[in-house]
Chain A
Amino acid sequence: MEIKYIIDRFIKYVLLIMALLSVFILFLIAVFTFREGLPAFQEIGWREFTLGTVWRPGQEQYGILAMIAGSVLVTLGAIVIGVPFALGCAIFLAEIAPDNVRKIVRPAIELLAGIPSVVYGLVGMVVLVPVIRKIPAPGNSGFGLLSASIVLAVMILPTITNIAEDAIRAVPRSYREGSLSLGSTHWQTIVNVIIPAARSGIIAGIILGVGRALGETMAMIMVIGNSVVVPSPLNDNPLTIFLRQARTLTGNIAVEIGYATGVHESALFATGVVLFGLIIVINSIARVLMHQRS
């Protein structure tokens, strides 16, 4: 066999190994996070760890319910604020924006995705928090779930808009023409035909947005206040729960990993296991929906 064929075969296997590396890294991430988190689960117990309301590492109390609640609430807030807005942008870009307008809005949304999360956090701290602080409620510091939700809503907008726009564009032209020829307006076509047809892609975009929101770390630390108490409303109005300071799962890891040792450190890895599990489930749902579409 000529030397060039030997090289050819050799390179093929080298490339295969490079491709397998991603799987290997994923495997290592799972193994290391679990291995380091396992002592905490054994010491504290699964139930006690995930449902415990007290996080006091100094007194060996490790319950992450407050952080789970923080992550869930802030994600919920970001979804409520961000999704209508993101879908509006997606429909606008895919259906009604003239070419020259799209040429401005598209890159703007891409740039929005590129801005570092610490910059969002900083702008949130300096601009948003003082505004939120003006809402009259006892104990409202401005830092808290509402500020964090607004910052997060802007951060997940590009993810949702991009995927939803692709889904809307993928709807066959004939659907649109059929509806228009029956005499419905463009808007009726969008609401009754195009959006239902693009549904699974749009939902996949929202779910990926949720995944992105749950994973955000630094911007959250900067505006959410990092309190380890389970959030509750400040007064009779249940919505004031969003003015409460909180902490996310991601923030819990980042804030304390620098000085944690022993069970404490293991508990932070266990927090990572919970987060990792959540994200895998969420992204798998999104992936199934997206493949359904094609």
Chain B
Amino acid sequence: MNTVKEFALQQTKAQQKSNLAQRHLIENIAFGVLWAAGAVAVLVLIAVVAYVLSEGAQVIDWEFLTTRPKGGLSGEGGMSTTIVATFYLVVLTIIIAAPLGIGAGIYLVEYAGEMQGSSGLQATVVSIIRFGVETLAGVPSIIFGLFGYALFVTTMGFGFSMISAALAGACLVLPVIIRTTEEALLTVPRSYREGSLALGTTQWQTIWKVVLPAALPGVITGIILSVGRIISETAVFYVTLGGSYHMPPSPIFHPKEFLSSGGRTMALHLYYLANDTAAFDKAMGTGAVLVISIVLINLAINYFTNRIDKKLRGL
């Protein structure tokens, strides 16, 4: 009797042990797979970036960066005008979108925030605005393109031009700027506002002199993020900017001609080279410049985000 009991006990002990070993084995296999997933994500990135940079390095030189594209099916020439056009378009789009996006973000956090929980017209308005921002953020870029084409290019008669493209692009990045501004404002401690208001300032004075300066790194992050979006965006500008590879007129000396001139961004240039010509080497060169710009932008964003982190931790 005793031996039977002992035997049974040993059995279950052995079972338990083997069960644990088995469970650890499964865990190790599963964690191995998860490590592999993380590693593959990094490897895909390295592969794409390294491939584009190494292929691009073969055509990128001073001449490639400073000569104009010659057009035609062979994709002759460099990419100088596309760098200039991208720069102009980024600046113009941000000039339009940044004040509107930051303003909307301020309203949603500083003015709409105090109505939280209250019902009535204002609360309804705020929830409609939130719905609008969220939905707008999910609209595919080609729809922004179609909209820009219908409204700015044809109905308003701006044609394929910088101003049409910048207006359509501004609609695209508006939700990005609103969201990052909101997040930045929410990190500013309540005590800042209370301290300022207690000194007898109006709400706007508090926002302008105290809250906004404190939230500035976050707001700048949002703008840099938008710059990245505009540099990478192709679909919207494909249907609003035309695609002329000529040098855009100077925005300072000929503002009117500048706004109504068509153009070609770097991303568009890459698309035209890859799809309409056989100049894959030049497309890679353009791609490499694009990738470098995006890497720099991400570094800048990380820099500002770290600054915010440090500030929040009181360093």
Give the B-binding residues of A (Cβ under 8 A): 4-5, 7-8, 11-12, 14-16, 18-26, 28-29, 32-33, 35-36, 84-85, 88-89, 91-93, 95-97, 101, 104-105, 107-112, 114-123, 125-127, 154, 157, 161, 184-188, 190, 208, 211, 214-218, 221-222, 250, 253-254, 257-258, 268-269, 272, 275-276, 279-280, 283, 287
Contact = CB atoms under 8 A, between A and B. Distances in A.
Given A19-B108, A96-B34, A97-B38, A254 B202 contact: no
B271 A18 contact: no
B52 A119 contact: yes
Contact of B235 (A14, A24, A35, A250): A250
Contacts of A250: 140, 142, 235
A26 to B, nearest CB: 5
14 contacts: A23-B129, A25-B136, A25-B174, A112-B45, A115-B232, A116-B232, A119-B270, A122-B280, A125-B274, A125-B280, A154-B48, A185-B24, A188-B23, A216-B140
B37 interface: yes
In the A-B complex, the 3 residue pairs with the smallest Cβ-Cβ separation, listed nearest first, are A215-B140, A88-B37, A116-B232
Nearest to B200: A4
Contacts of A26: 132, 135-136, 139
B44 interface: yes
A259 to B, nearest CB: 11
B31 interface: yes
Say which size band chain B's interface belongs to: 35 or more
Interface in B53-89: 55
Given A29-B139, A119-B287, A105 B111 contact: no
Interface of B: 23-24, 26-27, 30-31, 33-38, 40-42, 44-46, 48-49, 51-52, 55, 99-100, 103-104, 106-108, 111-112, 125, 128-129, 131-136, 138-147, 149-151, 155, 171, 174-175, 178, 202-205, 228, 231-235, 238-239, 267, 270-271, 274-275, 280, 283-284, 287, 290-291, 294-295, 297-298, 302
Contacts of A15: 103-104, 106-107, 111
B237 to A, nearest CB: 10
Given A8-B202, A114-B298, A122-B283, A32 B136 contact: no
B251 to A, nearest CB: 24
A135 to B, nearest CB: 21
A117 to B, nearest CB: 6
A157 B38 CA distance: 11
A123 B52 contact: yes
Contact of A118 (B46, B202, B205, B274): B274
Given A21-B100, A116-B290, A185-B23, A89 B140 contact: no
B15 to A, nearest CB: 14
**Most B CB within 10 A of own CB, among A12, A119, A187, A190:** A119
B111 A12 contact: yes
Contacts of B132: 20, 22-26
Contacts of A20: 125, 129, 132
Nearest to B44: A154
Contact of A32 (B135, B151, B239): B151
A257 B146 contact: yes
A155 to B, nearest CB: 11
A29 B267 CA distance: 24
A32 B124 CA distance: 25
B199 to A, nearest CB: 13
Contacts of B40: 85
Given A119-B291, A218-B271, A269-B150, A22 B142 contact: no
